[in-house]
Chain A
Amino acid sequence: MAVTKESRLIKTKILDKRIFVYLILIPICIFMMLPFFWMLITSLKTMAEVFNVPMIIFSPNMGLFNYRDVIDKGVWIRLWNTFLISFSATVLKLFFCSLGGYGFAKFRFPGRNILFSVLIASMIVPFAVTLVPLYIMMVKFHWVDTILPLVIPGAASAFGIFFMRQYIRCIPDELLDAARIDGCSEFAIYGRVVLPVVTPGLISLGLIFFMQSWNDFLFPLVILKSPEKQTLPVMIATLTGLAGTNMFTLQMAVSVISITPLIIIFLIFQRRFTAGITFGAVKG
């Protein structure tokens, strides 16, 4: 008798808690999803419908006309540019970061601690400080309007080296020594032993790099001058009509094209992605 009463009490308590929890969760999640919904429906409307009062949420005239317009304005070449920059930057960064991470994780050498402190300290230099002089350098190198400034300067990320070091430290030394006894050169050990073992870490880090590069805006904005060299974020920001007014519906169409690939990649690799984010934060 008493037992059933108690268990019923616990049950109602948990039910109360549940309702309370969903009352917090559901509104926040709706707020999180709302911009995506609004982006999508705005990309299907005309400008007049966007400005209309009272508000039009769905209209019978909705169609893909904005997408046709941005295709005429060359959205595909921008998509390709964005992909090319993100892909090259990611591959190069992963190579240098895993190499550097291996160097710091598995070798003891004179000056290691000082060099590692420099690496960590370099992370606090904000991009705002190097933006202007770096741009002037790029002009002198004749790198303006090429993808090089968006790939080369950041190719050895301090965060990435730190990240890979933590990962590579977990490889047992015996594994590397065995390869050494077999006569592998240090570079061969890196390529044949270290890289295969840390592939999950490389995927996590690669996803973070790819996303950062894909969404990058300020440096591409100042570097990529000619329209056909632009990336998608730069295209979104520079789609302006006469007198500098924003062409919202076209911007939304490009926005949808810009965010969709990343969301698909994220949904496929969600576990690796969050593993990367938390590995960097909780260990750091």
Chain B
Amino acid sequence: MTTSTRVLTRMKRRWGEIKKKRWAYMFISPFYILFAIFSVYPIIFSIYLSFTKWKGMGPKVFVGLANYRRLFGDPIFWQSIRNGVIIFFLYVPIMTLLALVLAVILNAKFVRFFRVFRTMLFIPYVTTMIAVGYVFRIMMNTNYGLFNMVLISIGISPVPWLDNVWWARVSISLLIIWAWLGYNMVIMLAGLQTIPQDLVEAATIDGANPVQAFFRITVPLMRPIILFSVILSTIGSFGLFNEVYALTTVGDVPGGPMYATITPLVYIYQQAFRNYNFSYASAVSCVYFVIIFVLTLLQLRYFGRED
């Protein structure tokens, strides 16, 4: 038998195997067809568009790296990246710690009305972010908002929640914590139920106080789940949109005051759908994708090494 016929029979056998399993390919094909049409092709199209100048009408003019040159000198773009990082650090540590503490509390057997508390904490997750964003906007108004009225009534001076660069970021973070605390808590609660309770009890008998037991035993055992929620939040804080649109739109421009809360996604929206600068928006998308890609790889590497 010559090599070519051997290759041929092997190919035939493989083809036979594929034919036998045609059902499996049929079952999984919808994903790959839709992924090719609605994700892969758009990304390629976006890369092409980023080398042109096009405002949504007329011919696309090839401009080489002009969009990228503009992008690297664009202070608002870099501000949006910086905002993603700042907002991440403003809410993730507090939210994660609070979610873990709440999960530990609700996991204790002596808490009454366990289900009522869990429901109240989780309900924000199912509500429309745009709706809640506007309520927060009303409550956070400097002059007539509920938050400042409460602060004044207990003798604290009012806070410019949405009018000051740093406070606006704090406000966005508060809104995110409100919306996602219950979700993270429910995940951690499920994680807690997988770790043996007698470990904590043994430590308590050995004289550890609840705080020591929490940091020495619960936190290390919960590491994988804590990392999961942190990874989700990383990508989440660069992709913030609804929160910013509802809470910190100043005039007609989302992401204020002074671009303090603009995120990459808001900037892309702004360039594409307000300025109709589709090619520049595409360049922003491409650079953003590279940043997210590298960030995810780094995290996966860190994550993968530990488990």
A32 in contact with B285 given A237-B245, A282-B191 (CB within 8 Å): no
Q: Kindly provide the distance from the CB of B286 to the nearest chain A CB, expressed in whole angstroms.
A: 8
Q: Which residues of A contact B265 (CB under 8 A)?
A: 126-128, 131, 218
Is there contact, CB below 8 Å, between A274 and B108? no
Is the pair A96, B31 in contact by a Cβ cutoff of 8 Å?
yes
Instruction: Tell me which of A28, A122, A133, A284 contacts B102 (CB under 8 A).
Output: A28
Contact B128 A214 (CB under 8 A): yes
Cα(A62)–Cα(B260), bound, Å: 37
**Is the pair A124, B30 in contact by a Cβ cutoff of 8 Å?**
no
CB distance from B121 to the nearest CB of A (A): 6
**B30-A129 in contact (CB<8A):** no
Is A150 an interface residue when CB atoms closer than 8 A count as contact? no
Could you tell me the distance in whole angstroms from the C-beta of A111 to the nearest C-beta in chain B? Answer: 8
Interfacial chain A residues near B278, Cβ < 8 Å: 132, 136
Contacting residues, chain B, for A34 (C-beta < 8 A): 139, 146
3 residue pairs, one from A and one from B, having the closest CB atoms? A103-B27, A255-B131, A107-B24
CB distance from B8 to the nearest CB of A (A): 17
Least Cβ–Cβ distance between A86 and chain B, in angstroms: 12
Decide if A99 is an interface residue (CB 8 Å cutoff). yes
Q: Please provide the chain A residues from 24 to 48 with a CB less than 8 Å away from any CB of chain B in the complex.
A: 24-25, 28-29, 31-36, 38-39, 42
Would A132 and B282 count as touching, CB distance under 8 A? yes
Question: Interface readout for B258-289 with A: 1 if CB under 8 Å, 0 if not?
Answer: 00000011001100110000100110011011
Task: Please tell me if the beta carbons of B110 and A122 are within 8 angstroms of each other in the complex.
Answer: no
A109 B25 Cβ-Cβ under 8 A:
yes
- B172-212 with Cβ < 8 A to chain A: 178, 181-183, 186-187, 189-191, 194, 210
Segment from B13-21, B65-73, B85-93, B163-171 that makes contact with A: B13-21
Which residues of chain B are near A17, meaning CB under 8 Å? 108, 110, 210
Question: Which residue in B56, B120, B228 is a CB contact (below 8 Å) of A32?
Answer: B120
CB of A6 to closest CB in B, whole Å = 14
Q: Which of A68-76, A196-204, A244-252 contacts B (4 or more CB under 8 A)?
A: A244-252
Q: Known contacts A53-B143, A128-B264; is A281 also within 8 Å of B28 by CB?
A: no
Q: How far is the CA of A274 from the CA of B292 in the complex (A)?
A: 29
Which of chain B's residues has its CB closest to A14's CB?
B110
Q: Say whether chain B's binding surface is mostly helix, strand, loop, or mixed.
A: helix
In A237-262, the 8 Å CB interface with B consists of 237, 244, 246, 248, 251-252, 254-255, 258-259, 262
- Tell whether A179 is near chain B: CB-to-CB under 8 Å: no
**Cβ of A91 under 8 Å from chain B:** no
B144 is contacted by which of A31, A50, A122, A161 (Cβ under 8 Å)? A50
User: Cβ of B27 and Cβ of A99 under 8 Å apart?
Assistant: yes
Q: Are A255 and B135 in contact (CB under 8 A)?
A: yes
Q: Say yes or no for B46: interface residue by CB 8 A criterion.
A: yes
A110 at the interface (CB under 8 A from B): yes
Check: A206 CB closer than 8 A to any chain B CB: no
| Interfacial chain B residues near A222, Cβ < 8 Å | 269, 273
| A residues in contact with B181, CB < 8 Å | 28, 32
A-chain residues with CB within 8 Å of residue B131 when the two chains form the complex = 39, 233, 236, 251, 254-255, 258-259
Query: Does B45 belong to the interface (CB within 8 Å)?
Result: yes
Secondary structure of the A side of the interface?
helix
Q: Which of B17, B210, B239 is in CB contact (< 8 Å) with A126?
A: B239
A50 to B296, CA, bound (A): 44
Verify B31–A107 contact, CB threshold 8 A.
no
The CA-CA distance from A25 to B239 in the complex, in Å, is 30
Contacting pair A215 B191 (CB below 8 A):
no
Give B117 Cβ to nearest chain A Cβ, in Å: 6
Whether a CB of chain A sits under 8 angstroms from the CB of B154 is no
Q: Tell me which residues from 259 to 282 in chain A have a Cβ below 8 Å from any Cβ of chain B.
A: 259, 262-263, 266-267, 270, 273-274, 277-278, 281-282
Check B135 against A252 for contact (C-beta < 8 Å): yes
Question: In whole angstroms, how far apart are the Cα atoms of A252 and B135 in the complex?
Answer: 7
B24 touches A109 (CB 8 A): yes
Tell me if B239 and A100 are in contact (CB < 8 A): no
Kindly state the separation between the CA atoms of A211 and B251 in the bound complex, as whole angstroms: 30
A186, B292: Cβ atoms under 8 Å?
no
Verify if A84 is at the interface (C-beta below 8 Å from B): no
Tell whether B215 is near chain A: CB-to-CB under 8 Å. no
Q: A128-B285, A132-B268, A263-B123 are in contact. Are A103 and B138 (CB under 8 A)?
A: no
Quick one: which of B23, B121, B235, B268 contacts A131, CB cutoff 8 A? B268
Bound complex: CA of A17 vs CA of B129, how far in Å? 35
Residue of A38, A244, A281 ringed by the most chain B CB atoms within 10 A: A281
Contacts of A154 in B (CB 8 A): 34, 38
- A131-B268, A136-B49 are known contacts; what are 18 more A-B pairs with Cβ within 8 Å? A28-B98, A35-B124, A96-B31, A100-B30, A109-B21, A124-B293, A129-B46, A132-B282, A133-B41, A133-B45, A133-B49, A161-B28, A217-B241, A218-B245, A236-B130, A259-B127, A262-B126, A282-B191
Query: Once the chains are docked, how many angstroms separate the CA of A69 from the CA of B239?
Result: 34
**Docked-complex contact A156 and B130, CB < 8 angstroms:** no
A64 at interface by CB-CB < 8 Å: no
Q: State whether the Cβ of A83 lies closer than 8 Å to any Cβ in chain B.
A: no
Residue on A nearest B124 in the bound complex, by CB: A32
B307 close to A (CB within 8 Å)? no
B32 contacts across to A, CB distance below 8 A: 115, 118
Q: How far, in angstroms, from A259 to B123 measured CA to CA in the complex?
A: 10
Contact with A along B134-148 (1 / 0, CB 8 A): 111111000110100
